[in-house]
Structure 1
């Protein structure tokens, strides 16, 4: 009985996920801007009276009450569907768009009931749900956070077979959605088995094989990804830059850079040159592996094949130069090379510069970059812009006016809310600087904003409060720690 229930939950979760993703892929359901015509407060409660529905199709309140009663009596999507489908009174109700609209609104906070009603309505002869109804259903499922991953692959096949119930065609696109859902849940072998079953009557396309390439790489089976590229060619589909770049990214994670270069040469030989995203990935990965000399050769290689850099590439280049202690060159990239190529810096560009200067003890230069960003027409500072500067305050011992000035600009000038990382940095730093009273005020501020401090932060602050004999604060922190443990 328990095993059956678990399988049912898995099947429902997969079915919901597939329904949502197929609905979004349906051209008739894209780019909809549907707004609920009724206020949610009107729709909550035990029932909706006939005078509230305003629907000419619900001319008998008892019919609507019968539908509600049948739904409420069932406990699962399948039970709701069966109960509505096999009840004589429910079968007598003429399903219309207005009825479905009211029912979905009635059960907008109950995804199982909404999905059961939707399946029942879609199964009725002569009725086809509107795209707007699909959109409401997707919204209900999304708010319910039921977009779960795939369960057993046999359940996936059953859910795929049931797509016709919702008026969704079993074609290449819906097959790809099924395979993609499974591969993202690391069920690549199961996805492969399904593909072998479906390929005889559903034609795969290039995206089908890219899904498998990504799936094999995700589970570190790059050889199968290479084999998939060959299979792709056998089906008459030409591998694109995405196909190769997925494998390159996998090699980068393994620091197998000799294989990266081999694949780059193969891409150029196949008439599929790498793009800026490919080169950005390679350069960033080389820098992460401390291969700075090789990383800084990537821009020249990229230039030699006529690939133009973008903002993300320059961000990675500045980051690499910073780690390679080439501060002057990084400044030249921001101030000269980017404007020369018409590439606009974003917040991350400036943040990389600020972090670079702070790391090398050039706090005033970091402040100058922050001021440049404040005056930029393209972007403004965020919490990450200030994090290295705040960290520097504790590193060099400026925990008075300079720290206060930074926080004041951050909160009052730019209206930036402190996140948990910033609060943690401040509380730990202030405790080490023997300013635990200020640290405690920040602790209270965190709680007041529903940001839960980390346990280590609570313990550190508790020890400091005990040493200062601040008994009220100690009791408050102990109560909070107890609450954390109980929850």
Structure 2
């Protein structure tokens, strides 16, 4: 019998034995509801556990470094995997697990698509497009896009992901060609799709090219406020703030009123230059134009004031924000906790986390917890940090990410607790479906080398290379020196061979 149910029934028997039925006894409908709820919760937990077990089983068969075809064959010939029911949830979790390992991701994606009775959703295709593009596998991405087009699965969302990945890989012309060919995908060239292309180019520092394309298109595709805000962001990113100011005027000429996003983007530029006199000028201009700054504007300024060692001025600005009637949000509180922590005002940061946020009804997100966990680890309060980690795991409002674990990994190295490190690493990858990126591998390999755990470090090094994640030269160098000290000559030779290819 379930422990919760056993306890409830035991309490019910105590009440009944007292004979005080009217005021305390659990009624039959209430008990029935309790039984149903408890059973439902148990079934849901069992289902989640089974789904997680299936994810781990399939993931274990998708060997790191294998080709997608090898992975498909390995899964197809495995009786246990063939007995697993393929669901959308299973595919989503596997793709999330392998988001930094395109070979394994593509292998399990193809395997799932071949299973009888299962058909991939468009969202799964989009995830696969994004993974291939992120890992610079452009030929594979193109092939998948062609497949989607044949099956009438391409949407503007897919096109947006592909254009961003093309531009990120230095192939911005391919992004433009994709826009030109929207008609062949059954999609329309309009303000929304034009903005998608312009935004893609501007974010990849191709604002001049975006401007030329805009001048060609604006005669038959009418721009909106977002179009100009994209250019304001692009000019600021290119350190050409004068053009950003000029775009504000152009915006007005097209009948679009500059909004808080328009001004806040330029404020962000001046903040990055630590030119706070210009920042305060723009704040005054916003208020004069009837466009008061919002919480994002204030948060941006406070963050950069803190970075410039002006923590007290940053905290004064938070008071100005509250006086203006601008309500704090989660991101504001996250920055406030960070500022207080850096200013050495730890207890005030804790009070914001434990009292002010709950009292104002502002929910905590992953970044809130990550900031507190990092702060606690830095102060050597690892047990409290682990308590917050457990709290995150039970929260429905936030999802753990890599940044949650990095301070804890560092604490493990400081404490020399390799058992805790192993447990945390296992939970990160298997329990929470998080993959290690280049920074995480570097952190672990460097830490393990210093902890005299070269074999473990080399295992992670091999795993990293198998995922086509290129390590930094200094990571290779450190690992090579450590394995030589341990007389691991075969391993040293393999590392040297790899370094020659870099």
Q: TM-score range by the shorter chain?
A: 0.5 to 0.7
1:283 matched residue in structure 2: 302
* Partners of 1:176 and 1:208 within 8 A in 2: yes
2:254 matched residue in structure 1: 235
2:133 matched residue in structure 1: none
Of 448, 451, 469, 1:433 maps to 451
- Determine the C-alpha separation between the residues in 1 that align with 2:307 and 2:235: 24
Deviation per CA, 1:368-410: give whole Å up to 9, x if none.
4334334444335443223212212333x43455545555655
When the two structures are superposed, what TM-score results if normalisation uses the length of structure 2?
0.61
The 3-state SS of whatever aligns with 2:255 is coil
When the two structures are superposed, what TM-score results if normalisation uses the length of structure 1?
0.62
For structure 1, which runs of at least 5 residues remain unmatched after alignment? 1-38, 45-106, 119-130
2:363 matched residue in structure 1: 344
1:476 matched residue in structure 2: 491
Structure 1 residues 468 and 340 mapped into 2: Cα distance closer, same or farther (>3 Å)?
Answer: same
* Partners of 1:267 and 1:273 within 8 A in 2: yes
Deviation per CA, 1:174-216: give whole Å up to 9, x if none.
5545544553454434544555566566543322322221222
Q: Does 1:221 align with 2:255?
A: no
| TM superposition shift of 1:337 | 1.0
| TM superposition shift of 1:415 | 6.1
2:152 matched residue in structure 1: 132
The 3-state SS of whatever aligns with 2:373 is helix
Structure 1 residues 429 and 168 mapped into 2: Cα distance closer, same or farther (>3 Å)?
Answer: closer
1:102-181 matched pairs, under 5 angstroms: 109=143, 132=152, 135=155, 142=162, 146=166, 150-151=172-173, 172-173=191-192, 175-177=194-196, 179-181=198-200
Q: Does 1:251 align with 2:285?
A: no
1:64-463 matched pairs, under 5 angstroms: 109=143, 132=152, 135=155, 142=162, 146=166, 150-151=172-173, 172-173=191-192, 175-177=194-196, 179-193=198-212, 195=214, 199=218, 203-379=222-398, 381-395=400-414, 397-400=415-418, 402-403=420-421, 406-407=424-425, 410=428, 417-443=435-461, 446=464, 453-463=471-481
| TM superposition shift of 1:325 | 0.8
Structure 1 residues 297 and 196 mapped into 2: Cα distance closer, same or farther (>3 Å)?
Answer: same
For structure 2, which runs of at least 5 residues remain unmatched after alignment? 1-108, 115-140
Deviation per CA, 1:288-347: give whole Å up to 9, x if none.
222211222232122122222222221111111111111111111111111112111122
1:97 matched residue in structure 2: none
The 3-state SS of whatever aligns with 1:297 is helix
* Partners of 1:111 and 1:141 within 8 A in 2: no
The 3-state SS of whatever aligns with 1:325 is coil
* Partners of 1:427 and 1:442 within 8 A in 2: yes
Structure 1 residues 163 and 387 mapped into 2: Cα distance closer, same or farther (>3 Å)?
Answer: closer
Structure 1 residues 262 and 478 mapped into 2: Cα distance closer, same or farther (>3 Å)?
Answer: same
Q: Considering only aligned residues, what root-mean-square deviation do their CA atoms show, in Å?
A: 4.3
- Determine the C-alpha separation between the residues in 2 that align with 1:170 and 1:445: 43
- Determine the C-alpha separation between the residues in 2 that align with 1:349 and 1:448: 34
- Determine the C-alpha separation between the residues in 2 that align with 1:137 and 1:368: 39
